[in-house]
């Protein structure tokens, strides 16, 4: 039920499951307390439907996603905090359930990539600029114009020439 | 018979591609005009044969020849003609054939219209492009033959995947491929420049139109795909940071960087080596995208390993071309002479910053897409989804957008930041006004106010340049108008493209921050309200289509008690595959939309309905269209039509032996 599904339909239509894009969150799942429901929806966006291809449980209409949505709501009703709900699901299903991986040694490169790339790129640019400048500074200044060249220049810039 | 002819034509195209990839190259090294001259007719012939092959496949689909395996798998005799036609590329084999068709179209276009390119460069470019073509012909013939016959022809086909039975399939893949594959020309130009060991401003001018064409189509292709998914999937979203989407977005980011760095090279002869590298990387990302989508590696590393033939073949192509290109780059790039110098605060400096940020965002997307595959190979299964990308890509792109207006206002070589900031006063003021208005009117999400501020800054900043150059406030209107017409088209191109960015951002802010949603269970006669709209569920009707049955539900929409229209979301069931699809109903109000899609029907006749109000949502795609219009303006710039003045020496080498 997302762009991916379409593109996958194009890409791997053989692999595409036969399930229909129906509604993900169904009316009977919704909690009467709007605040709790809003938290449930926000959490649902962070959780992966593990039998789907890259869908959050909020987007997926798979039975597993339904079960997980109900589970999240039950935990919230029982008074869990958001992080407690996530901890509970990770303990049950592993890190795979989180769409935003936690910082671990094996996800460190992932989280450091943007800053790292920015630093590496920025330093490269600085070094390149400095070395170019160095080359330019070291380059010999152009030789002063010779007598004949000066005469030619004066001739060329003389007022009155077309 | 037609299928066999198509197959044979593809084999001939491969043979021609092999000639085209070697003979002109040898000719260019020997400065032999006759051998170099082989490139053009072979490029045209290659296109001819691939077009014939593609035409043959189309004929198989249109006539529903189910003895051909792919037709049987993906078509149905009862399908409307348009879908019979589009289902040609609604599957792996056919879409690869479309891929090479477009590749050969670009080759033929360079051969036919590249008359201002020096002969040696042109011959080398066409040869390099043909290496890519040959590799993919071989891939199709060896692993993905679309013309494979079944031993016994079935009576009926298995139908096209219902979610693809839409007009979007007619437009989205061809456009996306025109973009993806178009970057092969920039790639070929880059490799040719490295082989020749010579690159100058004229090179940038010759490559620019091809890069622009590819970029325009990629922009439209991505936007079209996004809108298609939005209206057809009933999910209400338009972008999901899925690897398949990222695969098309990464070449766009790199290609955008390429357009900007090529500009520096053309005007100032600087950033030569970087531009070459970027041209190589952009097409490499297109290839990586093809690999990700085609190999099955996305489903799981293990799915890839269980049926590895296609994946390994594409991986080999990937390694060969990316590795080969980077090797040539490392070997030959030091030969190239460096160009003009510039101060950090200058247009060149701004464009370097643009390139830095675009490359870093592109790298971030690449990391997010590939890292789960890497960790899975080591036994750690992780998911990287939208929350990760929103957290990392979002801030980086916000910084990029905030500096966009500075670039076009800075002079080349050396500028002064204070002057530019002063010229952007109007933009700053309007951006702040935007933030204030949003804070007062809406109050909630701070992010929304911030987004609107940046969008206003980008749009007004882009207009500032045009306003100043036409002297709109100083001169009379007719004079300003005449000046506007006299401005280089590329100046308009920049303005439109940047305005488009701002418009898209506005749409994204509106849709994500102010959208509202209702999920309810309704029975005929029930009423529901969303924002300022009241909906009455009037009833359902069952209807029959050519190859499906549909359940239509009618909603009357009222605003302040006044009837403003009717919305009819559908549920279609396709017998051939036993699949059901939903078709959302959309009502456009200005640039906002109301969106209704259906869920399951319960035993007692109640139906689950999801209603959305999506403010400003159309701006997301409208912005992309404005960007593409900017690209078209730039493409029509006089300097690209006239071409660069040729150096006298190159011209002498051009003359054929007579």
Domain limits of chain A? 21-97, 103-137
pLDDT in tens, B262-273: 888 888 888 888
CATH superfamily placement of domain A21-97 = Cytochrome C biogenesis protein (1.10.8.640)
The answer to whether the CB of B527 falls within 8 A of the CB of B470 is: no
Mean pLDDT across the stretch B308-319?
Answer: 86
Q: 3-state secondary structure string, B368-408?
A: HHHHHHHHHHCCCCCCCCHHHHHHHHHHHHHHHHHHCCHHH
- Say if the Cβ atoms of B386 and A56 lie within 8 Å: yes
State mean pLDDT over A23-37: 82
For residue B240, which residues of chain A lie inside 8 Å, CB to CB?
2-4, 54-55, 59
Would the pLDDT of A11 be above 80?
no
- B234–A26: do the CB atoms touch at under 8 Å? no
Q: Is the predicted pLDDT of residue A144 greater than 90, yes or no?
A: no
Q: What is the pLDDT of residue B333?
A: 85
Specify whether the CB–CB gap between B64 and B131 falls below 8 A: no
Question: Which SS3 state, helix, strand or coil, does residue B488 take?
Answer: coil
Q: Which of residues 111-150 of A touch B (CB under 8 A)?
A: 113-114, 117-118, 121-122, 125, 129, 132-133, 135-136
Burial of residue A46, with CB atoms counted within 10 A of its CB: 0-12 exposed, 13-18 middle, 19 or more buried: buried
pLDDT at residue number A2: 45
Residues B149-197: tens digit of each pLDDT:
999 989 898 888 888 888 888 999 999 999 989 999 999 999 999 998 8
Q: What is the DSSP string of B176-233?
A: HHHHHHHHHHHHHHHHHHHHHT---HHHHHHHHHHHHHHHHHHHHHHHHHHHHHHHHS
- In chain B, which residues have their Cβ closer than 8 Å to the Cβ of A55? 240
Please report the pLDDT score of residue B120 as a whole number: 92
Which pLDDT tens digit goes with each residue over A87-120? 999 999 989 999 999 998 999 999 999 999 999 9
Is residue A162's pLDDT more than 60?
no
Token pair recorded at residue A24: 């993900």
Closest partner CB to B396 (pick from A1, A30, A114): A114
Q: Which of A85-89, B49-53, B334-338 has the highest mean predicted lDDT (pLDDT)? A: B49-53
The strand pairing partners of B527, in sequence order, are B536
Least confident range from A68-72, B228-232, B366-370, B458-462: namely B228-232
* pLDDT exceeds cutoff 70 at B530: yes
Residue B649 pLDDT exceeds 60:
no
Cβ within 8 Å, pair A20-B392: no
Which of A61, A47, A51, A82 minimizes the C-alpha distance to B387? A47
Question: What is chain A's length?
Answer: 162
Given an 8 Å threshold on Cβ–Cβ distance, is B233 in contact with A114? no
The mean per-residue pLDDT over the stretch B412-418 comes to: 83
Q: Does A54 contact B240 at a Cβ distance shorter than 8 Å?
A: yes
pLDDT in tens, B88-134: 998 889 999 999 999 999 999 999 988 888 999 999 999 999 999 99
Residue of chain A whose alpha carbon sits nearest to that of B397: A114
Tell me which chain A residues have a C-beta less than 8 angstroms from the C-beta of B381.
94-96
Q: Are B448 and B438 in contact (CB under 8 A)?
A: yes
Average pLDDT, rounded, for chain B: 88
Half-sphere exposure of B494 (CA within 13 A, CB side): 21
pLDDT of residue B498: 95
Indicate the angle between helix axes B386-403 and A108-138, nearest 10 degrees: 30
pLDDT of residue A108: 92
pLDDT in tens, B337-377: 776 778 888 888 899 999 999 999 999 999 999 999 889 88
What percent of chain B stands above pLDDT 70?
95
Mean pLDDT is lowest, of B176-190, B293-307, B435-449, for: B293-307
Q: Read off the tokens for A38.
A: 């809003």
User: Using CA atoms, how far apart are residues B490 and B498, in angstroms rounded to an integer?
Assistant: 12
A90 interfacial to chain B (CB closer than 8 Å)? no
Q: What angle do CA B177, B145, B159 make, to 5 degrees?
A: 75
Tell me what pLDDT residue B492 has. 92
Contact yes or no for B243 and A4 at CB 8 A: yes
Shortest Cα–Cα distance, B431 to chain A (Å): 27
Cα B71 from Cα B90, distance rounded (Å): 10
Which run of H or of E encompasses B608?
Answer: strand B607-614
Residues 6+ apart with CB under 8 A from B141: B10, B11, B14
> In chain A, what residues touch B579 (CB-CB under 8 Å)?
18, 20
Res. B233: pLDDT tops 60 = yes
What per-residue confidence (pLDDT) applies to B304? 58
How many angstroms away from the CA of A105 is the closest CA of chain B?
11
Helix B446-470 × helix B425-442 angle, to 10°: 150
Instruction: Check whether B295 has a pLDDT greater than 60.
Output: yes
Min mean pLDDT across A75-84, B522-531, B571-580 is at B571-580
Residue B289: is its pLDDT beyond 90?
no
Inter-chain residue contact B368 with A94, CB threshold 8 Å: no
The percent of residues in chain B predicted with pLDDT above 90, rounded, is: 54
Handedness of CA A130, A135, A138, A142 (dihedral sign): negative
pLDDT at A23: 62
Name the band, by pLDDT with cuts 50, 70 and 90, for residue B643.
low
| Chain B residue with the nearest C-alpha to that of A19 | B579
Backbone angles phi, psi at B245, to 5 degrees: -70, -45
Neighbouring C-alpha atoms within 13 Å toward the C-beta of B362: 27
pLDDT for position B545: 85
Q: In the predicted model, is pLDDT for residue B642 greater than 70? A: no
The first and second tokens of residue B311, run together, are 């994946």
Which residues on chain B are in Cβ contact (under 8 Å) with A13?
74, 90-92, 161, 164
Which H helix or E strand runs over A10? helix A3-11
From CA A104, how far away is CA B645, in angstroms rounded? Answer: 57
What per-residue confidence (pLDDT) applies to B205?
87
CA torsion through residues A56, A62, A66, A67, sign = negative
B229, B338, B578 member nearest A3 (Cβ): B229
Residues 6+ apart with CB under 8 A from A152: none
Measured between CB atoms, does A8 come within 8 Å of chain B? yes
Report CA-CA distances (Å) from A69 to B31, B168, B388. 69, 32, 21
Decide: helix, strand or coil at residue B172.
helix
pLDDT digits (tens, 9 = 90+) for B20-48: 999 999 999 998 999 999 999 999 999 99
Given the structure tokens 């006063």, which residue do they identify? Answer: B425
CB B204 within 8 A of CB B351: no
Angle at alpha carbon of residue A81, lines to A77 and A83, rounded to 5°: 130
Identity of the residue in B229, B360, B375 whose CB atom sits nearest the CB atom of A121? B360
pLDDT band, very low/low/confident/very high, at B650 (cuts 50, 70, 90): very low
């Amino acid at each position: 039920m997302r762009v991916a599904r379409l593109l996958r339909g194009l890409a791997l239509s053989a692999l595409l499951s036969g399930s229909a894009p129906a509604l993900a969150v169904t009316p009977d799942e919704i909690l009467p307390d709007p605040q709790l429901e809003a938290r449930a929806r926000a959490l649902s966006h962070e959780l992966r439907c593990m039998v789907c291809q890259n869908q959050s449980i909020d987007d997926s209409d798979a039975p597993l996603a339904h079960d997980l949505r109900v589970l999240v709501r039950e935990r919230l009703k029982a008074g869990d905090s958001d992080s407690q709900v996530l901890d509970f699901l990770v303990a049950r299903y592993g890190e795979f359930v989180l769409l935003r991986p936690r910082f671990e040694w094996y996800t460190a490169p992932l989280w450091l990539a943007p800053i790292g790339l920015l630093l590496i790129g920025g330093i490269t640019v600085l070094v390149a600029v400095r070395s170019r400048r160095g080359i330019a500074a070291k380059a010999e200044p152009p030789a002063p114009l010779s007598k004949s060249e000066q005469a030619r220049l004066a001739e060329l810039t003389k007022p009155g020439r077309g | 018979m037609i299928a066999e002819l198509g197959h044979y034509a593809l084999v001939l195209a491969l043979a021609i591609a092999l000639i085209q990839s070697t003979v002109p190259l040898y000719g260019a090294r020997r400065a032999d005009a006759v051998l170099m001259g082989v490139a053009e007719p072979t490029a045209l012939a290659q296109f001819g044969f691939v077009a014939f092959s593609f035409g043959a496949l189309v004929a198989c689909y249109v006539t529903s020849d189910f003895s051909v395996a792919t037709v049987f798998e993906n078509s149905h005799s009862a399908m409307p003609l348009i879908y019979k036609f589009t289902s040609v590329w609604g599957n792996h084999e056919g879409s690869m054939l479309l891929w090479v068709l477009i590749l050969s179209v670009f080759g033929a276009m360079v051969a036919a219209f590249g008359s201002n390119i020096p002969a040696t460069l042109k011959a080398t470019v066409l040869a390099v492009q043909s290496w890519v073509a040959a590799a993919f012909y071989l891939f199709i013939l060896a692993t993905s033959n679309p013309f494979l016959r079944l031993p016994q022809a079935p009576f009926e086909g298995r139908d096209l995947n219902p979610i693809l039975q839409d007009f979007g399939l007619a437009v989205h893949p061809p456009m996306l491929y025109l973009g993806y594959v178009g970057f092969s020309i920039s790639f070929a130009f880059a490799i040719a420049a490295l082989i020749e060991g010579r690159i100058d401003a004229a090179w940038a001018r010759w490559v620019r139109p091809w890069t622009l064409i590819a970029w325009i189509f990629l922009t439209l292709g991505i936007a079209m795909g996004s809108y298609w998914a939005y209206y057809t999937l009933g999910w209400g979203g338009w972008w999901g940071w899925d690897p398949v989407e990222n695969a098309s977005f990464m070449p766009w980011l790199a290609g955008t960087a390429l357009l900007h760095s090529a500009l520096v090279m053309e005007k100032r002869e600087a950033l030569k080596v970087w531009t070459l590298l970027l041209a190589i990387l952009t097409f490499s990302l297109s290839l990586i995208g093809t690999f990700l989508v085609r190999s099955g590696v996305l489903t799981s590393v293990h799915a890839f390993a269980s049926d590895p033939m296609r994946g390994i073949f594409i991986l080999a192509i990937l390694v060969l071309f990316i590795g080969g290109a980077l090797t040539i780059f490392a070997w030959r790039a030091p030969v190239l002479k460096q160009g003009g110098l510039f101060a950090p605060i200058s247009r060149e400096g701004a464009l370097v910053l643009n390139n830095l940020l675009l490359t870093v965002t592109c790298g971030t997307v690449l990391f997010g897409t590939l890292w789960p595959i890497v960790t899975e190979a080591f036994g750690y299964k992780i998911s990287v989804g939208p929350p990760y990308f929103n957290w990392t890509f979002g801030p980086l792109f916000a910084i990029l957008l905030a500096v966009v207006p500075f670039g076009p206002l800075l002079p080349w070589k050396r500028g002064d930041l204070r002057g530019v900031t002063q010229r952007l006063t109007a933009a700053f003021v309007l951006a702040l006004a935007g933030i204030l208005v949003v804070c007062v009117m809406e109050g909630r999400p701070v992010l929304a106010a911030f987004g609107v501020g940046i969008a206003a800054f980008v749009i007004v900043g882009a207009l500032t340049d045009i306003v100043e150059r036409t002297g709109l406030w100083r001169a009379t209107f007719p004079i300003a108008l005449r000046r506007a017409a006299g401005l280089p088209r590329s100046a308009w191109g920049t303005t439109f493209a940047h305005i488009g960015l701002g418009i898209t951002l506005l749409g994204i802010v509106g849709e994500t921050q102010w959208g509202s949603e209702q999920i309810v269970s309704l029975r005929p006669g029930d009423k529901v309200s969303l924002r300022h709209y009241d909906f009455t569920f009037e009833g359902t009707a069952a209807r029959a289509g050519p190859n499906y049955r549909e359940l239509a539900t009618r909603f009357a929409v009222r605003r302040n008690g006044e009837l403003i229209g009717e919305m009819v979301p559908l549920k279609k069931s396709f017998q051939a595959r036993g699949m059901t699809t939903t078709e959302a109903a959309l009502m456009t109000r200005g640039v906002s939309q109301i969106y209704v899609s259906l869920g399951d029907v319960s035993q007692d006749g109640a139906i689950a309905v999801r209603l959305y109000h999506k403010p400003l949502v159309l701006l997301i795609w409208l912005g992309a269209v404005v960007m593409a219009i900017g690209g078209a303006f730039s493409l029509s710039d006089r300097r690209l039509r006239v071409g660069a003045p040729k150096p006298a020496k190159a011209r002498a080498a051009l003359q054929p032996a007579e």
